[in-house]
Homo-oligomer: A and B are copies of this chain.
Amino acid sequence: MKIGIVGGTGDIGEGIALRLSPLFDVVVGSREKEKAQECCTLGSETLRKRGLACSLTGVSNQQAVDEADIVILAIPYKHLVGTLQTLNGFENKIVISPVNPMEKRDFFTTVPPVEGSAALLIKKMISPQAKICTAFNAIAANRWKALDEELTYSVPVCGDDAGAKHTVMEMVNRISHLTSFDAGPLAASGMVESLTPLLLNIARYNKIRDVGIQFR
């Protein structure tokens, strides 16, 4: 199974690539292919030093879509629409959105688009044959990158295609100590996406870092 990461050189994307690379074939996309290749060279060193297997290939964002079975859109919300407008070929792909529509005002707050969530906006923008799921919304970039620490979080997964959701949940469960939970259809994804600004507020007001979540 090949995973393509659109925005794979960004803060979240880089960490996801490092964690997934020992488990899956990973193609790391970027607007500039050269940047993706540099990032993969550095990432491969990081993994080899730890004796971890490595399968990172740097490509353009479009190639990351084209080559992958599962595409992860590791894009900040503010760049989501602009990036999707430059991409195509999502037909029959599983597309994972970890995107959270949020802003920092006096505090962090969710700012869902009129569609109701970033995932529903993505659904409107890309091929109707794409199988969109939300996942990884509430895991901090620093945690992804801290390869010496296990990820002990719960991961809610929304989606309308039962097979795709099952595949994504099994994939999540293979990563570190993550545990996936079915969080319902894509129409319920707004509640998942609002977890992250809540967690950023918890981190800020309680002076703790990179807060995540467990259901129990």
Contact = CB atoms under 8 A, between A and B. Distances in A.
A196 to B, nearest CB: 9
13 contacts: A107-B184, A109-B191, A110-B190, A156-B198, A182-B206, A184-B204, A188-B198, A191-B194, A195-B198, A199-B215, A202-B215, A211-B215, A213-B216
Contact of A194 (B152, B194, B202): B194
Interface size class of A (residues with CB under 8 A): 20 to 34
Interface string A186-216: 0110111011011101101110000111111
Contact of A214 (B108, B201, B206, B216): B216
A171 interface: no
B213 A107 contact: no
B191 A197 contact: yes
A213 to B, nearest CB: 6
A143 to B, nearest CB: 11
Contact of A206 (B181, B205, B211): B181
A166 to B, nearest CB: 12
B202 A211 contact: no
A199 to B, nearest CB: 7
A47 to B, nearest CB: 26
Nearest to A180: B206
B182 A191 contact: no
A148 interface: no
A213 B215 contact: yes
A194 to B, nearest CB: 5
A205 B191 contact: no
